[in-house]
Structure formats: C-alpha cells, structure tokens
Structure 1
Amino acid sequence: MPLTNKQKQYLKGLAHTLKPVVLLGSNGLTEGVIAEIDSALGHHELIKVKVPSEDRDLKTQIIETIAVNCQAILVQKIGNIAVYYRPSEEPKIELPRN
C-alpha cells in the first residue's frame, strides 16, 4: 500500500514525539531483532528504530531489509533513526484520504 505525500507528512508528525522502540546493538540485525520490530509494528503501527552504524551503505541496507522483512513502509529516515508504518487489521491510526 503506497502512501501519498500527505499521508507520509501526517505520519511524520505523529512520529515526531515517539522514542525509538528498538535499538540495534553490536550484533546488528538478527532474527530476534526483526521479530521484535515485527511485534512492535503489530502493536503500535508506527514505530521508530535506531540503527547506529558509521557505514552509510550498511545502514541503508539494514533499514531497507527491515522494511522488506516486516512488510512495513519506510516513512522517514533521518540520521540513525528510521520510522516505519504498518497498518494492523484494526487500524489505530486513521490516515488522511489524499
């Protein structure tokens, strides 16, 4: 489900006050971390993930891998923080139409 620019802006505004729910550690992206992110998305729909890495290419690859494995939409990426959105079966967040 692709998001319109208006919907992305709305989600960015909601995510502004959120704290990162998942912090990647020295082990990087493991199956346990992906499971935790998947669980957090199922519960919250909109989450922040902190991906500390000095290597930009590696950080970008990790962020994209999370989106693919968790079937989430990458809303925003700023520095080491990525914001993901995945609507649940009973959505808690109501997106603007257009």
Structure 2
Amino acid sequence: MSTAKNKRPALDNTELRRLKGIGHELKPVVTIGNKGLTDSVVEELDRALNDHELIKIKTLPGSKEEREVFSSDLAEKTGAQLIHSIGRMALLLRRNPNANPKLSNLSRYSD
C-alpha cells in the first residue's frame, strides 16, 4: 500500500533493466552494521544518494522477509526508490536534477 508521499513515477521494464545493469557494476557505498539504521547511516545514505543517485548498499543478515522489509524501510526513510534487492544487496534510486555528472552513476554509466 502506497501513500501519497511515497508516490514515485513508475519505471518501465527497459528502465528497470538499465538500472539493474548499472547496479551490477557498482560496489556497495554503505554497509549497514549491527546497530542497524542509525541517524548517521541515514545521513550517509542521503549524501550518497544526492551525489550518486543510484547506489548499492549491503544490508543486515536475516531472513528474506526481514531483508525485504528493511530495504523498503530504508528506501522510505531516504526518499528513495527500491529498484532491486537480492540477498543482502539493495539498489536504491533517488534522482537529483542538480547531480554532478562526474559523481552520478546515472550519468557515468549512461549509454
């Protein structure tokens, strides 16, 4: 169930494939430790999303359901869109119209 504040443009299959392809090349920029989603982790994720727009993170271990809930919560708290999660890796997207092309993964890996 989505709320008004979580409304983001739906991505078509072509765009999702493109983003997952870019994500495959990325290394995780943030690893969530045993303390979980602390304020400092949220700040670091916010900075990384502003700079890179598309980031890969490594989440806490747990069951598949726990990781899915955690990844969705993470996306909601950062205002990002969860593109993909597999195992302990999650791919988040938050577009920044003023992103530095030298830092943005969307610009660096564009076709």
Do Structure 1 and Structure 2 share a fold, with TM-score over 0.5?
yes
2:93 corresponding residue in structure 1: 85
1:59 is aligned to 2:78: no
Please list every run of at least 4 consecutive aligned residues from structure 1 whose deviation after the TM superposition is greater than 6 angstroms: none
CA RMSD of the aligned region, Å?
Answer: 1.7
1:37-48 pair list within 5 angstroms: 37-48=45-56
Normalised TM-score (structure 2): 0.77
Q: Within 2, Cα distance between the matches of 1:66 and 1:54?
A: 15
1:35 is aligned to 2:43: yes
Q: Deviations over 1:71-95 (max 9, x none)?
A: 111111010000011110235536x
Q: Deviations over 1:59-80 (max 9, x none)?
A: 2221011111111111110100
Gaps of 5+ in 1: none
User: Contact (CA 8 Å) 2:64, 2:87: kept in 1 or not?
Assistant: no
1:10 corresponding residue in structure 2: 18
Q: By percentage of residues, which structure has more helix?
A: 2
Q: Which of the pair has the greater relative contact order for Cα pairs under 8 Å at 6+ separation? A: 1
- Secondary structure of the residue aligned to 2:26 is coil
1:71 corresponding residue in structure 2: 79
